[in-house]
Amino acid sequence: MPVDVEVRGPVAIVTLARIEKRNAVNGEMTSAIDAALNDFEDDDNLRVAVLTGGPQVFCAGTDIAEGSGTPTQRGGLYGVIGRKSPKPIIAAVEGFAFGGGLEIALACDLIVAASTAQFGLPEVRRGLVATSGGLFRAPRALPLNVARELLLTGDPISADRAERLGLVNQTTEPGGALDGALALAARIVLNAPTSIRETLGALDAIVAHSDDRGWEATTTAREVIYASEDRKEGVSAFFERRTPKWPGR
């Protein structure tokens, strides 16, 4: 299975399990993430979910060879990008969260990361753009100029820098992201479920209009990019393991 689920009391741990592919998301994984998070939301005994990639890497984003499959009804892209969960979801990040991996983390409510973790949006290096929320969620979670840096250079930032800038809630020692996320979850479950649900609902309502505009702008950018020669060259160069020669159109 591309996703493992473990229940510890009121907490569901959802682990991406395509480690041989650096947890790159294909259609099967999208369906599995969606099913795991649907079960979490529908189980009244579960209060918080922790989404992790395990001890080595969080997620490399879309499996470029296979694609990420069809967006799901409740979760959208990757089964999580468009999800409006009434319960908190915490990302526990070890290794790197690149491209769609960072966009998955941005779709969660909180992020705990090992000090050795890295966050990046390298789509421009492939002639692509961040189409899974990164174009508008990165500048909401980070200072605008830092979001521009990520989106325009494709270079990653460290977990320490991400924490200083407010993207990451807490850093841990290497290998400690899951335990840190579970400790944060334990603090949350002390509180009233109704209060948590209504707080998350209010926050979603506050950013809903911004999200709608963000998806519209992303769709426009995606249509241009998918028709471009730069995209074809970027993807070809990726598979051929060479430096792209951008045609600029």
Mean pLDDT of 206-234: 93
**Tokens 């649907």 identify what position?**
38
Percent over 70 (pLDDT), the chain:
100
Q: Residue 112 — very low, low, confident or very high, per pLDDT cuts 50/70/90?
A: very high
Q: Are 82 and 75 in contact (CB under 8 A)?
A: yes
pLDDT tens sequence across 148-187:
999 999 999 999 999 999 999 999 999 999 999 999 999 9
- Angle, to 10 degrees, between the axis of helix 193-226 and the axis of helix 134-141? 130
Mean pLDDT of 133-153: 98
Domain 1-173+191-249 class, CATH top level: alpha beta
pTM for this one?
0.96
Q: What is the CA radius of gyration of the chain?
A: 17
Residues labelled as active-site residues:
103, 123
Strand ranges of the sheet holding 118-120, from the earlier edge strand across to the other edge: 96-98, 118-120, 157-158
Give Cβ neighbours of residue 137 (< 8 Å, ≥ 6 apart). 103, 106, 107, 214
Q: Using CA atoms, how far apart are residues 78 and 61, in angstroms rounded to an integer?
A: 9
pLDDT over threshold 90, residue 110: yes
User: Would you state the pLDDT for residue 1?
Assistant: 86
Q: Using CA atoms, how far apart are residues 141 and 234, in angstroms rounded to an integer?
A: 28
pLDDT tens sequence across 31-80:
999 999 999 999 999 999 999 999 999 999 999 899 999 999 999 999 99
Residue 229's identity, in one-letter code, is E
